[in-house]
Amino acid sequence: MSDKVVITCALNGVLTDPKQHHVPVTPEEMAREAKAAYDAGASVMHIHLRQQAPNKGHLPSWEVSVSREIQQAIREACPGVIINHTTGTSGLEYAGPLACVRETKPEMAACNAGSLNYLKVKADSTWAWPPMMFDNSVEKVQDFLDAMKDAGTVPEFECFDVGIVRCVGMYRQTGMYEGPLEYNFVMGVASGMPADPELLPILIKLKQPDAKFQVTAIGRAEIWPLHRRCAELGGHLRTGLEDTFYRPDGSKVTSNGQLIETMATYAREVGRTIASPADARQIFGIQN
């Protein structure tokens, strides 16, 4: 087990509404929240882009200029920080995220490794939103892997279900990807893998033996035992306002920094040390 644990902060996400929650939107807000997370122990910032016009901050953006401004603001606030760029988008039109990777060359980027019916049912047995397919065909995965290779960007393979974990090995086996593997087990989405600590050892067994892993846990207070188990089993850690708004005691946070403080405490309690940005670059094989 690696003694050093890399903590990633998922600063804002794609669905969270800034009118309802304290999620950052502008470069200044992103930098401020990143600094709070960085000071608490996060060395990687996972970013989503939002439209910058007034009252449009709840809508996604793929403008390269927005990506550049946000990355620059975060880097100025957090020396040595690693940017992990989102690429997730549904449908056949994904030139925007490809351009963001190719043109801004982030150190890391999400590579969504398979498709998922993105579903949730409310207490009254109706859909929480119209049923949606988050489609990530092999051809789409290859396009993102090619863009990341050109940019010198390390892919983080986002796995939403058990079969997707197994697919990542096939991508390497068929030559779609050659390089260090880093899995992100996304757990807690209602139609994906549950946020169950007992599932984690199975996922670790199914990943490639040389690969790093972390968990993204979606939910409320119930996700924290999974984070602790991930730390115990040698995984890297991720949380942030994209994933949750709640501490283990159920209280609601107002900043990413508060979530990262809890995660850093968990890491130390199980005997791990917090990786610096320089440590994280070495762990993930980041060259730039």
pTM for the model:
0.96
232, 224 contact by CB (below 8 A): no
**CA 241 distance to own-chain centroid:** 11
Residue 123, pLDDT score:
97
Residue 95, pLDDT score:
97
Residue 20, pLDDT score:
84
- Spell out, as residue ranges, where the chain has pLDDT lower than 50: none
For residue 66, the tally of other CB atoms under 10 A from its CB is 18
Strand (E) or helix (H) holding 274: strand 273-274
The CA–CA distances, whole Å, from 104 to 1, 187, 216 equal 33, 29, 25
13, 49 contact by CB (below 8 A): no
How far apart are alpha carbons 268 and 228 in whole angstroms?
10
Residue 19, pLDDT score:
84
Residue 2, pLDDT score:
65
Residue with tokens 């901050």: 57
Beta strands in 93-137 (DSSP E): 108-112, 116-118, 132-134
Residue 288, pLDDT score:
67
Residue 287, pLDDT score:
81
Q: Which CATH class is domain 4-284?
A: alpha beta
